[in-house]
Structure 1
Amino acid sequence: MILTYCYKIKPSPEQIAIMERWLELLRRHWNYALGQRLDWLNRTRSPIDRCSLISEPIGVIPEAVNYYTQQAALKETKQLFPEYKQIYAETQQVNLQRLKKAWDRWRKPVKHGLRGGRPRFKKPGQLRSFVFPRVNSPRAGAHLKNGMLKLSRIGEIPVVMHRPIPDGFILKQCTIIKKADGWYCCISMKDDTVPDLLPVNSVRSAVGIDVGLEKFLTTSDGEAVPIPQFYRKAQDKLAKAQQVMSRRVKGSKNWEKAKNKVALLHLHLTRCRKEFHYQVAHWLCSNYDLIAHEDLNIKGLARTKLAKSIHDAAWGSFLEILQAVAVKRGLLVQKVNPRGTSIECFKCGSRVEKSLSERVHYCSSCEVKIDRDWNSGINILNRALMAVGLPLNGCGKSVQDIVRASGGRRPRYGNGSAEEQQVSFVRLRSPHHNL
């Protein structure tokens, strides 16, 4: 298992100047190496239906440019530009490795033919992190001991150790990050022991969750977590801060201060949203052994007119956090096909067509009338149970209902830790049907 803990560091003004200089030099090197790759690509490719002599220079076709040729050129770079000798050598190599990964994501498609976007040239200030690939080893560039982080050619920096490093984990990598409110070090650590996933036969409680925009999520038990809408609630503050920044002379000291205030607001929103996601994920993992959710195409949904609300809810980030929390606890998370979950009736399976504005599911065949998202959560749960091989009874009820009816133990929300108590939810009720 690999964990990453992020700690705040308190460098001196001299150390801050050195690290900012490193970031600027690494940014220039990134742009130069990316330019080499793009120039080689343009010189060696030709469209199928036309000749490229019109738009490309004529000359000798250059040799292939890759990570190994650019790494070998680091020695020449340090001779031409002596300031690069001040940067730790492995840090420069990792900078080229990052470019290689970004280039491969663009040039080499992954499954289903998808690929990432083209790597971009970075403007001043856009490169905000550098890496020491080894920590606490004999020839490492970073050493963390007793709350002090010693970085090669930078010096010792105090670290705010707000939580201890777990026993048995080996420190692997240190990433120095510049954020709006200061500098941080992210320590990656590894332990060969991995929690065993819970066997399917041992599942005592399961739930299906349906994420949405009216409610953040609705469970198959009829519990709904309200959506906080952090971004929408802070839009007025952001608009005023951005208005102040736009009235400053770009590049001036006052403009830098106003820009930092906007960055601080965005950072605060990001942290609030992340904390909320962790609270909901821990609540779900404390109450259920199997958690089912839809395998949504979130990027496609974010291109619609609901893009702002979808980005504000951040379903993708939440599902990644849920998966990580479940793996640490050895629980099961199952993806299901989202097609038809809100249309099918959970009891009789009939298709009930409805528009997005209709929030109540009413089936004329079996006369079931419940909340639309509640019906989706039950369908998601049933599909997950069939996918993992757990039984369903003839009434459309899941194994969770059987366990509850037999007196099986399922912790209820409200008996957990203080962290879990922070999650608020509402209980959906249906006057026409009782699950």
Structure 2
Amino acid sequence: METWGELLRRHYNYALGQRLDWLNRTRSQIDRCSLISEPIGEVPQKVDYYTQASDLKQTKELFPEYKNIYADCQQQNLVRLDKAWKQWLMSDKNGKRGGRPRFKKRGDICSFTFPRVNCAKAGAHLVRNILKLSKIGEIEVILHRPIPDGFEIKQATILKKADGWYVSFSLLDKTVPEPIPVDEIKTATGIDVGLEKFLTTADGQSVEVPQYYRKAQSVLVRQQRKLARKTKGSKNYQKQSNKVAKLHLHVARQRKEFHYQVAHWLVKSYDLIVFENLNIKGLARTRLAKSILDVAWGAFLQTMQAVAVRRGKHCLGVDPRGTSINCSGCGARVEKTLAVRVHSCSCGLTIDRDWNSAVNLLKHGSVGLPIPVCGGLDISQPVKQKVSFVNLRCSRYTACS
């Protein structure tokens, strides 16, 4: 499998070089032409997925080692390149484009995909806990959960991580429910994400920031210091590098599990969740970058939206401008810096800053929707509000309060 990854990496780089060469040769290097004539040379044929896929037969003739790789895996490798190429040259519906595809160095491609599983011409077959891969053989796998009845396995991706090899199955689930009608929404909330508290809901509940990376920093510092003392490229360097990679993998898994816990708790509790559309990339360039990347707001919002779709609930993103400054009770503008964590308005409302923002988000997201939402807090509320903390230390699908 490591050999396959290395050969696919080389083929990816060669195919990318073909595309860049075609792009350079079909672009004019001068800004004006002669009045008489100007030689342009031979115009090469356009290079795309179909031309490169048709050249796979010639590749196997010139390099026999590629005959040992399943053909569908080589085609999926070109599909991956074609997707990155199109994202660079063509913008999406929001007008955004991806970066220029880069050449892969050794070890960058550590996965390959079998696009068909458990069918007549499939390269991968899963029978109980035995995975049979074409031209590789049978491998015993540990299923971390059983394949649900009625699900169809569409494709299998073999990938290498710091602690071993994994297979990721893509399943077709025809039981995903339709979103509940707007008229039937009974509960709604707004969530304000932050660094002091991971998030705060419009009804005053909040979740503490776990800070998995910062808690692991002391161990990471020692292991990375040991790595710096090793001779680069030696076996001891590779062993120590693997230890560091396992620590980072452990932190990433802790963070992902936490995101799923919070997402399931929110989606189970509310029919509509309003969140703020933050410019996370821009915020990550500030001096708070380490803390912002540690909480991983973007990954959490993607997870929450996926869980909401699976449960037939609604998620709505709104513009966050003014939500922290405007009063949720009277709508007045109350200027404050980031150091001020309490919202205190002249109308008599004094609550937590994040709570005030969450209520404003809910009000913005519920405009024009016939749903029962909070109309804001007024001076009848207590002068000082204390936010209750929700502890999420149970299984993925439960939460304690």
Query: In the superposition, relative to structure 1, how do residues 390 and 204 fare at CA in structure 2: closer, same or farther (>3 Å)?
Result: closer
Q: 1:215, 1:225 within 8 Å by CA — same for their partners in 2? A: yes
Q: 1:166 aligns with which of 144, 148, 167?
A: 148
Q: Deviations over 1:239-279 (max 9, x none)?
A: 22122112211111101101101110110000000000011
| Residue identity matched to 2:376 | G
Residue 246 of structure 1 corresponds to which residue in structure 2? 228
**SS state at 2:156 partner:** strand
Report how far residue 236 of structure 1 moved: 2.0
Q: 1:336 aligns with which of 311, 314, 318?
A: 318
Report how far residue 37 of structure 1 moved: 0.8
Report how far residue 387 of structure 1 moved: 5.0
Unaligned runs of 5+ in 1: 1-18, 52-57, 399-411, 425-435
Residue 66 of structure 2 corresponds to which residue in structure 1? 84
Residue 377 of structure 1 corresponds to which residue in structure 2? 358
Residue 201 of structure 1 corresponds to which residue in structure 2? 183
Q: Is 1:34 equivalent to 2:16 in the alignment? A: yes
Q: 1:30, 1:99 within 8 Å by CA — same for their partners in 2? A: yes
| Residue identity matched to 2:172 | K
Q: Deviations over 1:206-261 (max 9, x none)?
A: 11110001110011111111101111121222222122112211111101101101
Q: Deviations over 1:47-103 (max 9, x none)?
A: 67589xxxxxx8533221111111111111101000000000010000000000000
Q: 1:342, 1:376 within 8 Å by CA — same for their partners in 2? A: yes
| Residue identity matched to 2:237 | W
Q: Is 1:135 equivalent to 2:117 in the alignment? A: yes
Q: Deviations over 1:397-424 (max 9, x none)?
A: 69xxxxxxxxxxxxx9799975455667
Measured in 2, the distance between the counterparts of 1:214 and 1:48 equals 56
Measured in 1, the distance between the counterparts of 2:392 and 2:132 equals 44
Q: Deviations over 1:137-186 (max 9, x none)?
A: 10100000111100000111111122111111111000000000001000
- Given the two structures, how large is their TM-score scaled by the length of structure 2? 0.91
Once the two structures are superposed, the pairs formed by residues 154-233 of structure 1 within 5 Å of their partners are 154-233=136-215
Higher relative contact order (CA 8 A, sep 6+): 1
Q: 2:188, 2:272 within 8 Å by CA — same for their partners in 1? A: yes
Q: Which stretch of structure 1 is more off in the superposition, 278-287 or 208-217? A: 278-287
Q: Is 1:102 equivalent to 2:84 in the alignment? A: yes
Measured in 2, the distance between the counterparts of 1:346 and 1:397 equals 6
Corresponding residue pairs, total: 385
Measured in 1, the distance between the counterparts of 2:245 and 2:393 equals 35
| Residue identity matched to 1:214 | E
Q: 2:196, 2:209 within 8 Å by CA — same for their partners in 1? A: yes
Q: 1:219, 1:374 within 8 Å by CA — same for their partners in 2? A: yes
Identity %: 62
Query: In the superposition, relative to structure 1, how do residues 227 and 35 fare at CA in structure 2: closer, same or farther (>3 Å)?
Result: same
| Residue identity matched to 1:296 | L
Q: 2:13, 2:103 within 8 Å by CA — same for their partners in 1? A: yes
Residue 302 of structure 2 corresponds to which residue in structure 1? 320
Query: In the superposition, relative to structure 1, how do residues 92 and 77 fare at CA in structure 2: closer, same or farther (>3 Å)?
Result: same
Report how far residue 332 of structure 1 moved: 1.3
Task: Return structure 1 stretches of 4+ with deviation > 6 angstroms.
Answer: 412-417
Unaligned runs of 5+ in 2: 34-39, 379-388
Q: 2:391, 2:400 within 8 Å by CA — same for their partners in 1? A: no
Measured in 2, the distance between the counterparts of 1:49 and 1:353 equals 53
Residue 116 of structure 1 corresponds to which residue in structure 2? 98
Q: Is 1:396 equivalent to 2:380 in the alignment? A: no
| Residue identity matched to 2:51 | T
Report how far residue 379 of structure 1 moved: 0.6
Residue 384 of structure 2 corresponds to which residue in structure 1? none
Measured in 1, the distance between the counterparts of 2:137 and 2:222 equals 40
Query: In the superposition, relative to structure 1, how do residues 237 and 203 fare at CA in structure 2: closer, same or farther (>3 Å)?
Result: same
